[in-house]
Amino acid sequence: MIPHGVEIFVGLEPIDLRWGFERLAGVVEERLGRQTRSGALFVFFGKRRTALKVLFYDGTGLCLFYKRLDAGGFQVPRGLEEGATHLAVEEHVLEELLDGLRVEAPTRGPRPH
């Protein structure tokens, strides 16, 4: 169900899962500094991390997906830069997150000289 080739951003600060389209679109633009209608997927966790929402613009309108795990909680990547508000991830990382698996923050390779 994840569109291939899209950017995926995971918000690291918990949100109130009662928030809908407009409030989440505001979070995308204010906290993450991204355009809501860019075609990227934006993932947000609730405070207890047992549920999440994904906001996505499909070209005709905003889509909002909600997932709650039957047991356990979503594992937010660790080892991030201090003060980070979001994390860009690959498709396979999002799939692992949605399955409730623990994922690690991507490590940065050596910078080219």
Maximum distance among all Cα pairs of the chain, rounded to whole angstroms? 48
Distance CA 35, CA 30 (A): 9
pLDDT digits (tens, 9 = 90+) for 27-80: 999 989 999 999 999 999 999 999 999 999 999 999 999 999 888 888 876 656
| Entry pTM | 0.82
Residue 112's Cβ-count burial label (10 Å; 0-12, 13-18, 19+) is exposed
| Residue 98 tokens, joined | 């949605």
